[in-house]
């Protein structure tokens, strides 16, 4: 159980800067997810926390103690690798008890602790097997078990589910969330999958190109993305974007010109003036089919998922995704009109920065209390 | 349709392999067989496959005035020591070379193996001069160094390839588990390196064990190895075929048996990186 603090962390590989000054505070028992496209530096950041990679500059604190010069063995962390990194020549029991063996813990006590962890993960039957005799999901469990036995101050997970099939991934996701609840531990989790991030995190750190784009709760990122990148990255299907012109703006809202009529988006319009070009962002689930709507499009593809239906629309250069009810009757090639609730829309400046919403989403507001 | 199509090339493959096998095995089998023949049968103009075997050549090798024992011990000691040093240093250097992140690593690795590419004949004279200045002629150490000059780069290169194949995640996991770098190497890396160590050991030992050129040049009365003993049987007055074949058998058989015993690892080692 521990806190973690990163102060202006920078990492260079040769002349390439891969982490460009990251600040982060992780509270005790928090589940923090680093998410971003591949190459964004999230794994490197985790490896620096683990001590497997040195920092070029900046400080790392665990429980207030600076650990830059402490080796990985002495940071009291446990890490679950993407490849699981189970020792192939050792049985499951030896794999899980290896850290105790290194710490010269007596055999009986070692077995007891391994059994306790095995019970949590339902691994008791497999203790005598070698890793190659295990399925992917079982290996994953052993890797987590090994981390639990270590009784670390912080758990690190480096894309632990990416080698599992879709069904198993969902199951392990739930299991990890349960484990976090049960162990009451601080956990840091790296993934490129925004669904894993949304479902498990207390706090998400969105990274791109070695820079933190936004830190916040899943709902804060969803409802109040700080910029266009976060808006596009979080949420599935992706947010729709449309370049728009501004009719007028004040502190109460911004008037946007749309093909079928203007619309007032309730964001703070400071620094925006008439004639400016902004980007409008609306999530597919916030678009609705509406015969009076200000937007039109031709249906290119319909994906019926049962509960919902995704409509892929095209209008000139602009492409839209609209998530409608499962029983929507539209057909491919239909021309439809659609609209959205301006309160759910976002506006982004040319540099990608979002205009602040006038009202905080109730879910997000309740989190900060 | 399909099976008949594959059937033809298969026969061809088998035939080719059989031919290759006969080409390789017949001389060796003939050598082993003949080492148990009496002298007059060996040199008989009609080759004989059926004969009453005799151990006289082996007996005379180890009993006569010029016993084979010192040669055998020299060979074992020199080949063994140089192999041990090459494998231990090669293992450590290979690990370092595989894991270190430096510019021009590929060039460094190539430079190391390139020292193995020179023909033996090219280094004999320079080494001879060096050894003379260093008083290493006719010493065990001299031959050990000579074999190392070829075996060490080879061992480093081969072990580097083996370590490259071992994901660094495993050592990193061990280090996060509380192991020092050395403990991670000892408990996690080394046990997984058995195929690499066995392959490197066998190949290094074969080179040192079989060498004639270095031994001929650098050894003296105290340090002659088995291949020299064999050569000494080729005299101006005649060739003692019986003893020669017996020595040949003594040289070849241990290597062949060792090779068979570790075949599983050796194949894995020789096809390293071939199939992912």
B-chain residue closest to A47, CA distance: B172
Contact check, Cβ <8 Å, A85/B173: yes
Contact check, Cβ <8 Å, A73/B175: yes
- Measured CA to CA in angstroms, residue B48 lies from B24, B69, B219 at distances of 20, 31, 38
Q: How far is A8 from chain B (nearest CA, A)?
A: 24
Contact check, Cβ <8 Å, A77/B176: yes
Q: What is the reported pLDDT for A113?
A: 94
CATH of domain B66-270: 1.10.3720.10
Q: How far is B155 from chain A (nearest CA, A)?
A: 24
With vertex at residue B159, the alpha carbon angle to CA A146 and CA B84, rounded to the nearest 5 degrees, is 110
Q: What is the reported pLDDT for B66?
A: 73
Q: How far is B175 from chain A (nearest CA, A)?
A: 5
Q: How far is A28 from chain B (nearest CA, A)?
A: 21
Domain ranges of chain A: 4-230, 231-367
Of B169, B175, B188, the CB nearest to A72: B175
Half-sphere exposure of A148 (CA within 13 A, CB side): 23
Name every chain A residue with its beta carbon within 8 A of the beta carbon of B177.
73, 78, 98-99, 102, 146, 150
Contact check, Cβ <8 Å, A83/B169: yes
Tens digits of pLDDT across chain A (369 residues): 689 999 999 999 988 999 999 999 999 999 999 999 998 999 999 999 999 999 999 999 999 999 999 999 999 999 999 999 999 999 999 999 999 999 999 999 999 999 999 998 889 999 999 999 998 889 999 999 999 999 899 999 999 998 888 888 888 899 899 989 988 899 999 999 999 999 999 999 999 999 999 999 999 999 999 999 999 999 989 999 999 999 989 888 999 998 888 899 999 988 888 989 999 999 999 999 999 899 999 999 999 999 999 999 998 888 999 999 999 999 999 999 999 999 999 999 999 999 999 888 888 888 876
Q: Could you count the other beta carbons within 10 Å of the beta carbon of residue A73?
A: 21
Query: Of B88, B117, B83, which Cα lies nearest the Cα of B255?
Result: B83
Spell out the residues 6+ positions from residue A49 whose beta carbon is closer than 8 angstroms to its own.
A4, A6, A60, A77, A154, A156, A188
Contact check, Cβ <8 Å, B169/A87: no
Contact check, Cβ <8 Å, A98/B175: no
> DSSP secondary-structure letter at A192?
S
Contact check, Cβ <8 Å, A87/B170: yes
Q: What is the reported pLDDT for B238?
A: 81
Query: Of A157, A236, A231, which Cα lies nearest the Cα of A191?
Result: A157
Q: What is the reported pLDDT for B48?
A: 78
Residue of A43, A80, A96, A98 to mutate, testing the B interface (most B Cβ within 10 Å of its Cβ): A98
Q: How far is A44 from chain B (nearest CA, A)?
A: 14
Residues of chain B where predicted confidence (pLDDT) is lower than 70 = 1-8, 64, 269-276
Contact check, Cβ <8 Å, B175/A71: yes
Produce one character per residue of A30-68: b if its CB has 16 or more CB atoms within 10 Å, e if not: bbbbbbbeeebbbbbbbbbbbbbbebeebebbbeeeebe
State which fold the A231-367 domain adopts: OB fold (Dihydrolipoamide Acetyltransferase, E2P) (2.40.50)
> DSSP secondary-structure letter at A159?
S
For the stretch A152-174, pLDDT in tens is 999 999 999 988 888 888 888 99
CB pairs under 8 A between A and B: 63
Contact check, Cβ <8 Å, B173/A79: yes
Q: How far is A53 from chain B (nearest CA, A)?
A: 10
Query: Of A265, A293, A268, which Cα lies nearest the Cα of A281?
Result: A265
Q: What is the ipTM of this complex?
A: 0.84
For the stretch B256-267, pLDDT in tens is 888 888 887 777
Residues A54, A67: contact at Cβ < 8 Å? no
Q: Which class is A4-230 in CATH?
A: alpha beta
Domain ranges of chain B: 66-270
Interchain contact B5–A (C-beta under 8 A): no
Interchain contact B188–A (C-beta under 8 A): yes
Residue of B105, B172, B173, B194 to mutate, testing the A interface (most A Cβ within 10 Å of its Cβ): B173
Q: How far apart are CA B112 and CA B151, in angstroms?
A: 11
Query: Of A190, A97, A192, A91, which Cα lies nearest the Cα of A132?
Result: A91
pTM: 0.82
Of B170, B176, B179, the CB nearest to A79: B176
Name every chain B residue with its beta carbon within 8 A of the beta carbon of A73.
175-180
Name every chain A residue with its beta carbon within 8 A of the beta carbon of B173.
79, 81, 85-87, 146
Give the residue numbers in A contacting B (CB under 8 Å), as ranges: 14, 50-52, 71-75, 77-79, 81-83, 85-89, 98-99, 102-103, 146, 150
């Amino acid at each position: 159980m521990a806190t973690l603090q990163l102060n202006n962390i920078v990492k260079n590989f040769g002349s390439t800067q891969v982490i460009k000054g990251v600040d982060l505070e992780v509270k005790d028992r928090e589940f923090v997810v680093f998410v971003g496209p591949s190459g964004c530096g999230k794994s490197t950041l985790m490896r620096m926390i683990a001590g497997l990679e040195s920092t070029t500059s900046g400080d790392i604190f665990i429980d207030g103690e600076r650990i830059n010069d402490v080796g990985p063995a002495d940071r009291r962390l446990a890490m679950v690798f993407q490849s699981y990194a189970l020792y192939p020549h050792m049985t499951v029991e030896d794999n899980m008890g290896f850290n105790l063996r290194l710490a010269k813990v007596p055999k009986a006590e070692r077995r007891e602790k391994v059994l306790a962890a095995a019970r949590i993960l339902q691994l008791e039957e497999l203790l005598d097997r070698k890793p190659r005799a295990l399925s992917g999901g079982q290996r994953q469990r052993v890797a987590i078990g090994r981390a639990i036995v270590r009784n670390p101050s912080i758990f690190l997970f480096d894309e632990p589910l990416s080698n599992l099939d879709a069904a198993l991934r969902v199951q392990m996701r739930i299991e990890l969330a349960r484990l976090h609840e049960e162990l009451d531990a601080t956990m840091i989790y790296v993934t490129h999958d925004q669904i894993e991030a949304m479902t498990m995190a207390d706090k998400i750190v969105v990274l791109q190109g070695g820079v933190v784009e936004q830190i916040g709760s899943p709902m804060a990122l969803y409802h109040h993305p700080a910029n266009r990148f976060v808006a596009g990255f979080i949420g599935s299907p992706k947010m729709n974007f449309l370049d728009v012109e501004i009719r007028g703006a004040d502190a109460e809202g911004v008037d946007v010109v749309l093909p079928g009529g203007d619309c007032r988006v309730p964001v703070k319009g400071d620094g925006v003036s008439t004639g400016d070009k902004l980007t409008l962002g609306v999530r597919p689930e916030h678009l609705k089919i509406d015969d009076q709507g200000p937007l039109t499009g031709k249906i290119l593809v319909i994906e019926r998922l049962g509960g919902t239906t995704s409509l892929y629309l095209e209008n000139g250069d602009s492409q839209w995704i609209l998530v409608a009810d499962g029983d929507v009757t539209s057909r491919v090639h239909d021309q439809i009109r659609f609209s959205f609730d301006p309160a759910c829309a976002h506006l982004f400046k040319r540099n990608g920065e979002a205009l602040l919403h006038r009202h905080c989403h109730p879910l997000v507001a309740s989190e900060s209390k | 349709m399909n099976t008949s199509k594959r059937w033809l090339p298969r026969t061809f493959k088998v035939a080719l392999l059989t031919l290759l096998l006969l080409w390789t095995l017949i001389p060796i089998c003939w050598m082993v067989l003949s080492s148990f023949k009496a002298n007059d049968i060996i040199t008989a103009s009609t080759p004989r496959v059926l004969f009453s075997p005799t151990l006289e050549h082996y007996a005379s090798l180890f009993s006569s005035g010029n016993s084979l024992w010192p040669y055998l011990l020299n060979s074992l000691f020199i080949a063994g020591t140089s192999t041990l040093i090459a494998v231990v240093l090669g293992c450590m250097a290979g690990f370092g070379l595989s894991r270190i992140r430096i510019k021009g690593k590929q060039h460094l690795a190539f430079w190391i193996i390139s020292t193995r590419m020179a023909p033996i004949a090219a280094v004999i004279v320079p080494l001879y001069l060096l050894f003379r200045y260093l008083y290493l002629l006719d010493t065990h150490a001299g031959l050990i160094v000579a074999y190392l000059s070829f075996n060490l780069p080879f061992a480093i290169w081969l072990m580097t390839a083996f370590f490259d194949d071992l994901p660094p995640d495993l050592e990193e996991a061990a280090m996060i588990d509380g192991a020092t770098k050395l403990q991670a190497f000892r408990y996690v890396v080394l046990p997984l390196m058995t195929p690499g160590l066995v392959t490197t050991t066998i190949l290094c030992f074969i080179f040192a064990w079989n060498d004639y050129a270095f031994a001929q040049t650098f050894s003296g009365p105290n340090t002659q190895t088995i291949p020299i003993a064999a050569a000494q049987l080729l005299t101006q007055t005649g060739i003692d075929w019986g003893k020669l074949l017996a020595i040949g058998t003594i040289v070849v058989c241990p290597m062949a048996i060792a090779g068979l015993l570790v075949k599983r690892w050796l194949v894995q080692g020789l096809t390293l990186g071939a199939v992912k």
